Structures are given as C-alpha cells and as structure tokens.
Structure 1
C-alpha cells in the first residue's frame, strides 16, 4: 500500500509540474524526497539512503562531461556557419510534392549530425515548417515528418545524449549499441520514408520554397569549408574514434572556422561556448540561435537527480512488486513486450523522455539477460515513445520550437513503426528459438544476448561464444 501511495504521489507531482510549466527538476526533487521518506518509513537510516542516492550521479560523470562538450559543440557549429550552410543546402532539395519526405530526411540528417531532436527541429525543422506554411501544405503531416526525422538521430546518433544515457544506465557499450540500433531500424526507416513519399502529393501545397541563402549570407560565410565540422564527425565516427574525441575534433575545427572564416573575435568565443550563439540578425535568429554549455545544464541536472533513484529503488525495494508484474508479463509474451508496455505507462505518467528511460530501466532490469539487450529494447521504446504522447516534454517542446500543433504527433510514423517492428521481431524470436543466432537475426543486429527465451538469466556461455 505504501509503495502505491509513494508512486502515485510522484506521478501527481510530475503532472502538477507539467501543468504549471515548472522545471522538471522540481517534481524530480519531490520524487527524491518521497523515495527517501519511503526508505525512512522502511527503517533505513538517512545517511545510508543519501549515500546510495549519491552513487548514481557519481557513476555518470563521463556522461555529464559529454553534455558539456555537446553544449559547446552545438554553439560552435552555429557560430562557424555550419548549421546555416546545411540549412541552405537543404532548401534546394525541397519541392511541394516531396515536402513530407524531404522534411523527414533533412531532419533525420541534422539530428544524426547533432545528436539532438531539439537541435534538428529548431534548425532544419523550423525551415521545413516555414516552407510548409509558405506553400500552404498540410502542417500536420509535415510536422509529423519533422518529429520522425528529429528523433531518428536523437535515438541512434553518436552525438546523442539519449544514446549515451541508455548506455550508461544499462552499463553497455555506446558504440556497439549504436550499430545494433541502426540495423534494427532499417526496415522502419524505409517504411516511414515510403509513407511520407506517398503522402507527399496530398500534403504538398502550391508555390515555391523560400530561399534563406540571402538572409544567411549577410551574417555568415557559407563557403563549402564551413561543413568541415560535420564532415569530421562522419569520418571520425566511421574510423571508430571515441565519441568524446570525435566531438572535440569537430569542436576544434568549428572554433577555427569561427575565427578565420566568420571573423569572430577570440574574446567572444568563451561567451559563445558558455551562453550559446546569438546573432544580431533578427530575421534568422530563430533558426540559428542556441547551444552553449548552459543550455545543457538542466538536462544534466535532471539526469543527475534521476540517476539517484536507482540506488534508492534497489535499497528500499520500492519497485519490487512492479518488477514482479513486468517479469510475469515478459514471461508470457517477450522481454521487449514487457519493456514496451512499461515504457508507454512511464511515459504517460512521467511526461518526460529521460524519466521514462530511467524508470523503465529500473523496472525492466531483470527481464533481459544482458545490458546490451536492454539497451536495444529501451532505444526502441522509451527513447522514442514520448515523442508521440502529446503531453510529454519531448512532444510539447519540439512542437514549440517548430511552431506546429501537437496533433502532428499523430503523423510521427517512425516513432510508432520502430516499437511495432521490434515487437514483431521479438514475437518471431519467441516462436522461432535461435533466430537471434541465425543470419536473419544478425542482419537485424541481434545476437545471443537478445534470445527471447532469456528472461532474467545470464546468457549461457555456449550462446555467448557463438555470438
């Protein structure tokens, strides 16, 4: 009974916080107090509870460092003219009949390069919606394409803080996870592209796409070499350089471009890296302003506070009853089905992608035999499902950035197809034992760790060796 009351109070604090527009840190702090209070009720000492809570933030130091670097990188790309140049190139590919497909592809490319759904939506997404409005196109369909493309990279880009968080909470390899995520996403991505291509003639309006080159050219040098920071990310990622080194190399090249191509005074660079880039050109400010270390402060604090829940849940046994239910559900269906249902519930209650990921990982950590298998499940469920729930911060924030109705979430097909496809694959595995070790399973990025028969058990040595 006490467990249900504590979780209900936490859900209520989240709902109140969202309703009143409070920072997510407020309900998360309330949750921390509730969980500590529950521990005291169960007879644990305060000092002991605080120690286990502190283990979470201390264990994700590397992720917090990456947040800082990402903040500097997104600001430097703006100041270096990289994002404006990509935006100008993107517009050339757009026509009325291809607008939904182009929006999906362009936002997908930008989110993959930046690792952020918000960065993609606030740059190319704004451009695509501006074009849609100018053409009098269906903004709901175009908006859905923007959401789909924006969450493509947010889920599986080497620059993605979401991918880093998934790897951290599952204690798995980021690089390995990214490869597996990409392979299992091929079918949903192709299907999504075909859907938007088919909807193009119906969604497209009339008129020509506006040109932004003139507006950008007054503030930036848009020569080909300003694309160097993005090219470095692509090349170094293929060369399997670490994510941190790749980002630092891209950051260094962007800073050189800031000074020598865009003629930014050296004294202004620290401010840009810390506070973000701001242009004096009001006509393009909405598309290029942003980034900076401070822009990552809230998400870093959210992750730090949410990560403290792990130790408290384990120490107090708060989620033991729910874990048992999830385990029974997974046993009757598949491990991914258990993760998927849990993801939908936590996303609806928590109203936030990060919290949904953290809670789902806590509740489902016993139904997969390996952290990498759980990471693949999370990336196909809790990482993207919040995008299609209209009251989550992911959906509301992204729609606010672009200036589109939240009803666009109904057309974010990729965020629905990936969970459904992964569910189909998991059910196929259930009916065909050993599929994960066969050629078809390997093409999809599966291996012995994803065997649907393994629920809460270690991967047998023979299977592990075969993988």
Structure 2
C-alpha cells in the first residue's frame, strides 16, 4: 500500500468526488452517473500515485461483498410494498385508521407510532416501508401535505438507531466503541429524551394546523372505495403485528420482510382473488390499484423489485467509492490531523460530532464513519478520561441521524424511491435528524455545561 501521498492530494480526491456527485443533483441527473464518474476519477488519481489498478479493483470488489445484505433488503422492500398493497393490508390499515383520526393531531400520532414501531423493529427503513407507508396513506386521505407527514414518520423511524436493542447500526456502534448496551443506555438517554421532547412539542404544534383539514366527506369516500375494491378485515392486521412481534423477539430484517412477502402473497391470492400471474407482475413491476378514485389509486399503487434496481446500482457505486476511500487510506490521515489539535474535552466531543457528520456526508453511508471513528477515537477518549459511552452516543446522535438529510446518501435515496418525496421537500420536517446533532453539540459545547448536566464526573 502506498502511504506516500500527501494530505493535499487526499483532499483533492475527496472534494472532486463530492463535487461530481453533487453536480448530478444540481443538473437533475441520476446519482448513478455521479458515483460512476467519482469512482473512475478516484481510481485514475490513485494510479498516478503508484497504486496498482488490480489492487484498486480488488478493494472495490471486496466492498461489494459486504453490501449484499443491504441490496437484498432493498429488493425485498420493493416486493413487500407491492404485495402489502395488492393483499389489501395497506388498504385495511388506512380503512380502519381513517375512522380514528378525525379530530386528532394526526401528525403527532405519526411520530409516536413510528417511534414505538421502530424501537420494536430496530430498523428505520423497515418501519418506513411497512407501517410508515400506511401512515402516509392515511395522512394523504386526510389532506395533510405529504412532506410534513413523511418528516414526522422519518423522525420517529430513526429513533430505532438511537435506542433499539435490535438496531444493527446501534449494535455496530456499541461493538466498535467497546461499550455494552446496558452501560451506555443512561448516557444515550440524556440526549435522546430532550430530542424526543422537542420533536413531540414541534409536531404537536405543527399538527394542530392540520386538524381542520380532515374532511368527513373525503374520509367516507376513501372508505367506500376501499371497501368496494378490497376485502378488508381486522384479521389482515395480524400480519404487520406478527412482523413487529418477531422483531421484538430478535428476528432479523430479511426474515421479517420475507415473512411479510410470503404471507402477503398468500393473502393476495386467497383473500383478494388475485391471479398468480398478476401477483408476480406486481411484485416485479409494482402494484397498480384500480379503485375508481384517482387520489386513492395513487396512495395504493407502487413498489416492485424493478423500481429498486437503480437504487441498488447507486448503492453499489457508493460502496465501491467508500471502500476505495477506506482501503487506500484517504480519510484516516485527515482525521488524525484534526485530532492532534484537540486539547479540551468539550472540543473533542464537538469534533467527534463534526467528523461523524462529515464522514457520513463523504462516504454516503453511516457504516464507515461508525467503524473509523469508533476505532480511532477510543484512545483519545481514554487519554482525556472521557467515558466511551459518550463517544458512542455522539456518533449515534450525528452521523447515524443525519443521512435522511443528505440527498446522495443511501438512506435518503431509499426514502425517496419508496415514497416519491425528495429530501428538499421533506428535509425541513424531519426534525429529529437535525435537532439530534444540535442537542449533542450543545451538551459538548463546554466542560462546564457537561458537568452541570451530570454526564460524567470528568465533564
């Protein structure tokens, strides 16, 4: 491995790659082109510094092996969304849900339900693609703006990666920073509780504005069309309940979604009288509802494996680029250079928050930031006698929380693909995602502040 490259060269590689990706957003081109150009540019620059092409290709290939699970989850999500629509599960959830939202603060309800579901399921995207789709559909039926609804649902869904014991990213953070879930729970809660309270208050105030939007005439129209087009029964709700319950028992995301896909397919055939050929078509191409009501058709149509192909290719590009950054030692020296300038505990926590956000910004995924910072910063935290649960919490509150706000991040791309709503539309309403880093920075702003809040004896 060539370690003779300068930090200036590393900055050139990173900045040029980011500009390439961001230019696709401004030019309204697929991010696939941005990642492809960034990969070719990075490889070209590294070759000029003595890196062998074969080595670089091998680094990219090894990175691809690690993304097979997320690719599988995304493809299954596309199929599950389609099947839960064709089976009438989403329609049933909307049908019965509309009966209870009249006169309620529905936006706040979305946040609360998403929060509880995500903690149980342990996956933001799993929550969003199942219960979240139903909540979004009900809110649209109540004439609440979709970006506002999605922002509340995202905020609740991403609580999973902060506190859920079955969250993959939370467990990765715990493992990488060398702390246990039980010993870090108290530390995490000291920022999570204020974050949830702030979200609760904002969604309550914002939701009060939309209570008057709920029209009984529109609600009745939606329910009548659903009843004519689908077999609806409370029994259909047992499937999403079962998926959530299995998550609580520790079943992994792929198993849960696969169960939802298989049982949902059976319901489509036996309860909704759908032919096998039509079912397979909807699984691959997406379900198209024919309720006779255009607004309802839009809510109950979508999904499909093929709709996820482009996002899978984008993820592959993002993983390859991230692997090159990590495998060729592009990022670590830049972080090390920043760490050498840190002399106080308050500055260390602020820099941890900043670096966590920057790594998520650059690498298009949370994983690299978690692993790299978790390993690099442990010694620094030990040297300054700061409890390592604070390191874990700071990473969770920043790099793990902000992905929905970054248009080229894998998470944001998946959200937009599932819902059709862009970051520029829902971002301002995804309150938890930007409140979370702010709260963490405030907690780490000065040593005196941290001491007053009783986070550790040292701080």
Could you tell me how far 1:149 is from its partner in structure 2?
1.9
The Cα shift of 1:18 comes to: 0.5
CA deviation vs aligned residue, 1:169-205 (integer Å, no higher than 9, x gap): 99879xx989969966454224322332244445544
Aligned CA distance change for structure 1 residues 214 and 327 (closer, same or farther; 3 Å): farther
Residues 328/217 of structure 1: CA separation in 2 closer, same or farther (3 Å cut): farther
Q: Taking structure 1 as reference, are residues 177 and 294 closer, same or farther at Cα in structure 2, changes over 3 Å only?
A: farther
Matched, 1:265 2:275: yes
Q: 2:14 aligns with which of 7, 15, 31?
A: 7
2:413 & 2:320 partners in 1: Cα distance? Answer: 25
Deviates more, 1:290-299 or 1:10-19: 290-299
Rounded to whole Å, the distance in 1 between the matches of 2:356 and 2:365 is: 6
**TM-score, scaled to structure 2:** 0.74
**Which of 343, 350, 368 is the aligned partner of 1:337?**
350
CA–CA distance in structure 2, aligned partners of residues 217 and 286 of structure 1: 17
Q: Per the alignment, do residues 182 and 144 of structure 1 end up closer, same or farther by CA in structure 2, a change over 3 Å counting?
A: farther
Q: Is the 8 A contact 2:311 2:414 kept in 1?
A: no
Verify the 8 A CA contact 2:311 2:413 in the aligned structure 1: no
Q: Is the 8 A contact 2:139 2:149 kept in 1?
A: no
Distance (Å, rounded) in 2 between the aligned partners of 1:58 and 1:19: 31
Structure 1 counterpart of 2:236: 226
Cα deviation, residue 54, structure 1: 1.0
TM-aligned CA deviation for residue 308 of structure 1? 2.1
The equivalent position to 2:150 in structure 1, one of 146, 150, 175, is 146
Counterpart CA distance in 2 for 1:42 and 1:246 is 47
Q: CA deviation at 1:148?
A: 2.8
2-structure distance, mates of 1:363, 1:238? 30
Partner of 1:83: 90
Unaligned runs of 5+ in 2: 1-7, 380-387
1:138-162 deviation per Cα after TM superposition (whole angstroms, max 9, x unaligned)? x5xx84453032243256279x9xx
Aligned to 1:292: 304
Aligned length: 423
1:357 equivalenced with 2:366 (yes/no): yes
- Equivalent residue for 1:63? 70
**Match for residue 443 of structure 1?**
none
Structure 1-normalised TM-score? Answer: 0.73
Could you say which residue in structure 1 is the equivalent of 2:384? none
> Displacement of 1:20 after TM fit?
1.9
Cα distance, 1:259 vs. partner?
A: 1.3
Match of 1:413 in 2: 431
* Counterpart residue number, 1:125: 136
Unaligned ranges ≥5, structure 1: 134-138, 439-451, 454-467
Q: Which residue of 2 aligns with 1:312?
A: 324
Structure 1 segment 40-439 matched on structure 2, within 5 A: 40-95=47-102, 98-105=105-112, 115=126, 117=128, 123-129=134-140, 131-132=142-143, 143-144=147-148, 146-154=150-158, 156=160, 185-202=192-209, 204-205=211-212, 208=215, 210-211=218-219, 212-281=222-291, 282-328=294-340, 332=344, 333=346, 337-342=350-355, 344-345=357-358, 355=364, 357=366, 360-361=369-370, 364-369=373-378, 377-388=394-405, 394=412, 398=416, 401=419, 406=424, 409-423=427-441, 431=450
CA deviation map 1:283-328 (0-9, x unaligned) = 4221121222223323322222222234422443322442224434
Aligned CA distance change for structure 1 residues 29 and 151 (closer, same or farther; 3 Å): farther
1:283–1:259: structure 2 CA closer, same or farther, 3 Å change rule? same
Contact 1:83 1:123 in 2 (8 A): yes
Tell me: CA distance 1:2–1:74, structure 2 relative to 1, closer, same or farther (3 Å): same
